[in-house]
Chain A
Amino acid sequence: MAIKDERYQMIERNVMRHPEQITADAIAMWNRLAVELVAIIGRSGFDTLYARNIHLVRARHPWLSDGNDPDFEQLKTSLEDQETAAAGAAAVDLLTTFIDTLIQLIGEPLTTALLKSAWSQDIADTAAKEINNEQ
C-alpha cells in the first residue's frame, strides 16, 4: 500500500477514534501541528498555508468557513454544525491535504519528522511506525 494511503488511514483512524468527539480531536491535532510549525516557519507562514488549505478543501466541503482562523474557532464551529460522518470526512480531508502540501514543499522525511514531533505520543507513534515500516 502506498505511503500516502497509509498516512490517510492513520489520520482517519485518529480523527474518527471517538466519533462523539471528532471535533475536539481534530482541533487538538491542528493545535499541536500549529505549535510545531509556527515555531519553525512563523505565524504568517503557517496562516497562509492554512488559508490555502481551507480554500482547497472547501471545494469538497462548501460549509467550511473561509478566512483567517488563527485559533481554529471557525473550524470548530463549522465541524460542530455537521453530522458525525460529514465532520469526520472534512476533518480528515483538511489534515491530509495540508500534509500533502507540506510534503510537496519540504519533502516526506522532514514532514514525517515534524509530525512525529507535533503529535508525539498517541498519534504520531502509530503514524511514524506505519510510515517507517513502509519505507
Chain B
Amino acid sequence: MSNKVSIQRLASGVPGLDELLGGGIPEFSFNLLAGTPGSGKTTMAHQIMFSLAAPERRALFFTVLGEPPLKMLRYQQQFPFFDVSKINHSIKFVNLAADLLDGNFDRVLARIADEVRDYQPSLVFVDSFRSVAQSAQSMDGGAASLQHFVQQLGMQMTSWLATTFLIGEYLAPEAESSPVFTVADGIIWMSQQVHRDALVRKIQVVKMRGQAQGLGIHTFRISDSGVDIFPRAMLTATASTVSIDGGQRLSTGVLELDKMMGGGVPAGYSLLVVGPSGSGKSVLATQFLAEGVRNGEVGVIAAFEKSPNQLLSHQLNTLIESGKLGVINTRTLDLSIDEILHDLIVMIRHMGAKRVVIDSLSGFELALAPSFRDDFRESLYRMIAVLTAMGVTVLMTAELEDRYEMLRFSSYGNAFLADAIVMQRYVELEGQLKRVISVVKVRASDHSKDIRFFDITSDGISIGHPSTQYVGILTGRPVPSPAVSGI
C-alpha cells in the first residue's frame, strides 16, 4: 500500500495533448508554453483555459505586453471553444502592462499575488512571459531578478494551488530562458517551419515532471476549431492488445490470386501492389475491400489519387454508403504522416476495421508537406508497423514506371517494408498490350512463382493462364519459348 501523494491530471481539452503530456496536465504544476511567434501558444492556452474553467475552477489570464488584449479577444473568440458566458464568471482577464512598465518585478509579483488572492483561481496564465524577460534585461541585475521573479511566482502559484502556464515567445530554447526552464515543471515547445511553400507546425513536450511524456516532435494543426495535435509513435500503446491467429488468411477478392499467394494474404501483413499507371492496382485494392465487407470485415481507405468529389469508383462509393468502408480525408498538400496515421487509427478503432488500403504511396508522398518527404521511408516504416501491430491487414499501391531493363518494386526502396508484394506489368504480345501479374514475395509462406496473364473486366480482375509458353516476359517483349515454338 502506498501513501504517495496522487497527482490529479487535468484533461487539457486539446485533442492529442493529454497523450503527449503522459495523461494530462498535472494539477498545481508550473508550466512554460514556449515557441516562435505565431506558433499557436495563445490559442492553445485559451483552448486549455476555456475547456477547464468552471465556476468551481476559475481561471485568471494575465496579459502583459505583446499582443494587445483587444486584438486577442477579437481573434480568439473566432474559435468555438471561446465561451463568452464564462468571462467574468469563471474566467477573468487582467492586464499588467502598466505594472511592468513603471514598476519592477516586485510590483508585478505583488499585483499577481493580489489578483490571485482576490479571485482564488485554480488556473493562472501569464501571456506573454517574453515581455517580462525582456524587461529584465534592461534592468539592473536583470537575469538574477528574473530568476528570483520566476521562482517567487512558481512558489506563490503552487502555494495558492494554482495550475500555472507562462506563455513565452522564444525563437529557440535559448539560454536566456534557462531560469524559467529550471523552475518549470513542464515545458511545451511549439514552432512553425516553412519548407518550400508548406507550413508545418510542430510541438514537443521538452519536460514534464512526474510523468512520462510522449517523446519526440509531433505535428499539430490549427483549424477552425483550434489546436489539434497528432501524437506520433503509438506503437507501444496498441501493440499488446492485439493477437493474430498466425494461420489466418484474408482473401484478396481474386480467387486465383489467393491461390498464387498460398491461400490469401496472411492477416496482419502489409501487401504492396506495384505496377505502372492503369495496370489495375486500384481495382485490386477495391476488390480487397469489397471482399472484406462481404465477409463482415470493415475497411478503411486513404485515397490520395483522386479528389474527394470525384472519389473512387462506383463500387467503392457503394461500400462507403453502406457504412462498411471509412474514407480518410486527405485534404491538402501539407499533411504529416502522423496526421494521416492519427486519422487512420481513430477510424480503425471507431469502425473496428480489419482492412486498410493506402492508394497510393506516390500520391501519399505528394500530399505530404515537403519537409516530411525526406523522412518518408522512415515514417512509412513506423506507420506500417503501427497499423499491422493493431492487427489490420494493409494493402498499399505503388506506381512503378514500366522500365523493362530493370526490375524495381518501388521508387523509394520501400519494398522491404512490405511483407508481401504483388507485381503487375504490361507486356506487348501479338500486337496487344497485355497485363501480367505475379506474386513476388509472401514472407514466411509458399507462393506461386508464375507470371499470369490477367484482364480487367466489369467483375474486376480475371486471372488467366500462366505465361509459361513465353520467355522474356519481364523484358516487356516476350517471345514464345523454344519448347512451345518447336511443336
Residues in A lying within 8 Å of B, measured CB to CB: 38-45, 49, 105-107, 109-110, 113-114, 117
Contacts and interface: CB of A to CB of B under 8 A. Distances in A.
Interface in B331-385: none
A110 B98 contact: no
Contact of B97 (A43, A105, A117): A43
B402 to A, nearest CB: 60
A110 B73 contact: yes
Contacts, number: 55
Contacts of B73: 40-41, 105-106, 110
B95 interface: yes
A99 to B, nearest CB: 14
B77 interface: yes
6 contacts: A39-B92, A41-B69, A44-B98, A45-B70, A106-B74, A113-B85
A42 B77 contact: no
A106 B75 CA distance: 8
Contacts of B77: 106-107, 110
Nearest to A44: B97
Contact of B88 (A45, A105, A114): A114
A106 B97 CA distance: 20
A41 B68 contact: yes
A53 to B, nearest CB: 14
A47 B467 CA distance: 87
A51 to B, nearest CB: 14
Contacts of B95: 38-43, 45
Given A40-B94, A44-B97, A45-B95, A109 B70 contact: no
Nearest to A116: B88
Contacts of B88: 113-114, 117
A115 to B, nearest CB: 11
B69 A113 contact: no
A40 B96 CA distance: 9
A68 B160 CA distance: 39
B63 interface: yes
B1 interface: no
A42 B69 contact: yes
Interface in B81-137: 84-85, 87-88, 92-95, 97-98
A41 B69 CA distance: 5
A45 B69 contact: yes
Contacts of B70: 41, 45, 49, 105-106
A113 B87 contact: yes
> What are the 5 closest A-B residue pairs judged by CB atoms, nearest first?
A42-B95, A109-B84, A42-B97, A40-B93, A41-B69
Nearest to B95: A42
A39 B93 contact: yes
Contacts of B98: 42-44
Nearest to B78: A107
A47 B164 CA distance: 30
Given A39-B94, A42-B69, 7 more contacts: A40-B93, A40-B95, A41-B95, A45-B97, A109-B84, A114-B87, A114-B88
A45 B94 contact: no
Nearest to A43: B98
Contacts of A38: 95
Contact of A113 (B63, B74, B84, B97): B84
Given A40-B94, A105-B74, A107-B77, A45 B68 contact: yes
B322 to A, nearest CB: 43
Nearest to A42: B95
Contacts of B69: 40-42, 45
B117 to A, nearest CB: 15
A43 B69 CA distance: 11
A49 B69 CA distance: 13
